[in-house]
Amino acid sequence: MKKISLYVIFAVITISISAQKYEGLANTPPMGWNSWNKFAFNFDEKVIREVVDAFEKNGLKDAGYEYIVLDDGWMTKERDENGNLVPDPRKFPSGMKALADYIHSKGLKFGIYNCAGNKTCGGYPGSAGNEYRDAKLYASWDVDYLKYDWCNTDKKHAQTAYSTMRDAIKEAGRPMVFSICEWGLNKPWVWGKEVGHLWRVTGDIANCWNCSYTFRKLSTHGILPLLNIRKHDNLRKYSGPGHWNDYDMLEVGNGMSDAQNRSHFAIWCMLSSPLILGNDLSKMQWETINILTNKELIDINKDSLAIECFKYKTLWNIDIWARPLKNNAWAICFVNKNGFKIKLQYNWAKHIIEDEIFNKKLDCSHEVYTLRDLYAHKDIGTTETPLEKEIGKHDVLMLKLTKKEK
């Protein structure tokens, strides 16, 4: 009996140790690019190499973006005779290892996609029943990031399915950021910290400001509806280093106005959401590049206090988002949802902002803060006087407040 008991204890300890994700990854929200939003299934080796080259040319690498992620459609419709996934030879004639080597040679990291079901969302082979085989294959290609979807899963238990792939990655022996993409259907924020490094909390994003539609029985939303349907204030306590709420990939540069793009990027930085680009990087306008490489906003996204923002209130159809930062600073984001420009008049002394979850308070009636406009890259006064600023249609005023020394 003693020997059996000791064996059982040893087995439980062994399972517990093996069932750990790779720690030390995604200590700040991951930054990179994914093929889906712009190219869907229509991408190949040439497109990916152009994206890689654009990272350096357009300053994205210097700004902190590092992952190049191939989404659904990179493989053939069937596995080979040994049960392995096969990169589509028409799209990737050089193979995945050669592509990974090219990406790594530029100081970037390589990401790939699969699904917890029998088929991916696009009908390609999923990983159900092949998790360990697939993880080993990805490791042989030097994959750094796995996005794992939730199509064709029937009645699978989400936490179990994602934990199985987590364990497969660990056994494969190569550290990979594990992106849980089951659209928030099974409350991944409750169990995701032990399983992955980020998890989707919403349905898919669309390249529009205020629209919603259904695609393949799944809800797809523009920027405003995506934020409105979130259970945001209940979710923010689950986010932090190595385990992030993911509000989906960015649509900056995919057809919205510059003002909408600025608002979209600012809010994602406030949310500590992963910043995964979804546009054609080889054909960006200068304003798009300026938005995506704005290091002052990216610093907000990566702030070491790692507290996700919350919506303080809405005034005159302007949403006011607040985020505590390190060194007792704050980020405040004013988003004009009106279809016309509006002159903001905001008396700092009359608005005491409290973060009850993290026990933070912004009280400008007793403390003075300097105001930094993060898109204009200039200081614009202090909280000693009311703020008067014109904000354009669907545009944003993004501020950092730093406590003034007495």
Mapping DSSP to helix (H, G, I), strand (E, B) and coil, where does residue 265 land? Answer: helix
- Give every CB contact of residue 395 below 8 A, 6+ residues apart in sequence: 259, 262, 263, 336, 341
Query: Which residues in 136-268 belong to E strands, given as ranges?
Result: 145-149, 177-180, 198-200, 204-205, 212-215, 218-221, 244-246
Q: Looking at residue 22, what DSSP letter applies?
A: P
Which is nearest to 265 in space by CA: 278, 248, 251? 251
CB atoms within 10 A of CB 178: 24
Q: Choosing from 72, 134, 144, 149, which is the catalytic residue?
A: 149
204 noted as active-site residue: yes
Distances (CA, A) of 62 to 223, 277, 293, 298, 383: 27, 15, 8, 12, 33
Q: Choosing from 204, 280, 303, 395, which is the catalytic residue?
A: 204
Q: How far apart are the first and last CA of the chain?
A: 71
Rounded CA gap, 122 and 112, in Å? Answer: 15
Rounded CA gap, 80 and 78, in Å? Answer: 7
373 noted as active-site residue: no
Positions marked active-site:
149, 204
